[in-house]
């Protein structure tokens, strides 16, 4: 079981809005000793959303899906989730109660605005129509809930709503997965080294230390810095179970230094991993 994120909305792909969910999801998972394994962005296209959800629902991963659960013409996520599952959309009874309570709150005591039979209020109940068998996710911001089916969790695109809902899901459904293993990451900078020259050593380190992953993040340098990092360099390191990181890191560092390249070590840090 891994963790995935699906961000839905044309506004993200067109650049009208900047996605903030990816970074926040990484932070929320990391604080609980978990890690994000993958992320996808999908526009407001019913066929594409349905195909994406059909594929991910068939897998074992925990998936957070943001955006498109409203009741305007460009909101398709609820319908697509139902289509992917092959079940009808139904008005969730608890969601109806929460929406009715929200209508009463926004009416401010005005009996006309609070009339649940008004067409606009009847339309608002559509936000509580979820795939048959869904569970609701509480929304502490305005009561309008999200929903869960299996290990897929659907919430609005608004960060002020989505992030508390994501935290609630993690703490309510997946606390048993928190901090299962101590993961560590150790890295150093290596200067003016071709990545192709280092690749054989990286492969040897992984082969010699099962359970360890070697990573390489090259940079062309920042000439405006005026220090050693103005030069081409690579952020090179290993990550994995804390007890395995030390020997693998030592092998990688010694191997690079034996090639004569300049290195600068970085502080060890925790690496969240489910």
Write out pLDDT tens, residues 40-68. 999 999 999 999 999 999 999 999 999 99
Specify the DSSP class assigned to residue 92.
Answer: -
Whether 225 shows a pLDDT value over 90: the answer reads no
Task: Check whether 273 has a pLDDT greater than 70.
Answer: no
Please report, for residues 7, 12, 117, 170, 182, the alpha-carbon distance to residue 56 in angstroms, rounded to integers and kept in the order given: 13, 21, 38, 19, 28
Q: Looking at the DSSP assignment, which residues form a beta bridge with residue 149?
A: 152
- In the 8-state DSSP scheme, what is residue 143? S
Between 34-43, 72-81, 110-119, 156-165, the lowest mean confidence (pLDDT) is in 110-119
Q: Taking 60 as the threshold, does the pLDDT of residue 146 lie above it? A: yes
Report the pLDDT value the prediction gives residue 242, as an integer from 0 to 100. 87
For 86-118, write each residue's pLDDT tens digit. 999 999 999 999 999 999 999 998 988 988 999
Confidence of residue 135 (pLDDT cuts 50, 70, 90): very high
Which domains are assigned to the chain? 3-177 (3.40.980.10), 183-270 (3.30.70.100)
Burial status of residue 267 (CB atoms within 10 A of its CB: 0-12, 13-18, 19 or more): exposed
The predicted pLDDT at position 69 comes to 95
> In this model, does residue 246 exceed pLDDT 60?
yes
CB 83, CB 47: distance < 8 Å: no
Weakest-pLDDT range from 17-31, 62-76, 142-156, 217-231: 217-231
pTM (predicted TM-score)? 0.84
The pLDDT, as a whole number, for residue 134 is 98
Q: Is the pLDDT of residue 272 over 70?
A: no
């Amino acid at each position: 079981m891994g963790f995935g994120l699906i961000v839905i909305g044309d506004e993200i792909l067109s650049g009208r809005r900047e996605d903030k969910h990816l970074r926040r999801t990484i932070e929320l998972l990391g604080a609980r000793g978990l890690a994000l394994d993958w992320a996808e962005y999908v526009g407001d296209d019913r066929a594409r959303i349905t195909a994406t959800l059909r594929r991910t629902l068939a897998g074992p991963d925990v998936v957070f899906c943001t955006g498109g659960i409203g009741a305007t013409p460009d909101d398709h996520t609820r319908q697509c989730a139902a289509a992917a599952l092959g079940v009808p959309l139904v008005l969730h009874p608890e969601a109806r109660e929460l929406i009715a309570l929200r209508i009463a709150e926004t009416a401010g005591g005005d009996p006309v605005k609070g009339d649940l039979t008004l067409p606009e209020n009847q339309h608002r109940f559509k936000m509580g129509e979820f795939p048959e068998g869904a569970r609701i996710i509480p929304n502490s911001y305005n009561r309008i809930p999200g929903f869960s089916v299996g290990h897929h969790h659907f919430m609005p695109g608004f960060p002020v709503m989505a992030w508390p809902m994501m935290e609630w899901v993690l703490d309510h459904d997946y606390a048993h997965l928190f901090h299962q293993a101590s993961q560590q990451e150790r890295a150093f900078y290596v200067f003016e080294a071709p990545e192709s020259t280092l690749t054989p050593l990286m492969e040897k380190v992984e082969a010699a230390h099962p359970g360890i992953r070697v990573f390489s993040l090259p940079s062309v340098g920042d000439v405006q810095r005026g220090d050693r990092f103005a030069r081409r360099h690579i952020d090179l390191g290993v990550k994995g179970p804390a007890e395995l990181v030390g020997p693998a890191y030592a092998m990688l560092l010694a191997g690079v230094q034996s090639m004569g390249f300049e290195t600068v070590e970085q502080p060890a840090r925790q690496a969240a991993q489910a």
